[in-house]
Amino acid sequence: MRHIEPRRLRLADVQACRYQQAVEGLGANPVDEVIVAGRRFRVTRIETLLRLSRAGPEGPGRRIPIQSKPPAYEDFRHE
C-alpha cells in the first residue's frame, strides 16, 4: 500500500497520501482490514516460529492441514 498500489494505480500525490496515512495507521493500530479511498483491504500477518533446544533447532515436523478454507471472492463483491 505504501509503494506498489499508488504506482500501479498511477495515483496523484493527494490520493497516494491517503494510502500512506493508512499504512502509518496500521503500525499504530493493527487491525484486520482497512478501507482506503473506498477500497477495502484485508490484512494478513505471517509469523515464523523456530523452536530451539540444546541440540539445536527443531527439525521439520509433520504438516498439519488447515481445516478452514479462505473466504471466497464472492463473499466480498456485494459489500
- pLDDT value at 73 more than 60: no
Tell me the per-residue pLDDT of 31-56, one tens digit each, with 9 for 90 and over: 888 888 888 888 887 777 788 888 88
Which pLDDT band, with edges at 50, 70 and 90, does 5 fall under?
Answer: confident
pLDDT for 71 equals 62
Query: Which sign, positive or negative, has the C-alpha torsion 10, 33, 73, 65?
Result: positive
Contacts of 16 (CB under 8 A, 6+ apart): 6
Q: Rounded mean pLDDT of 13-29?
A: 81
Contacts of 29 (CB under 8 A, 6+ apart): none
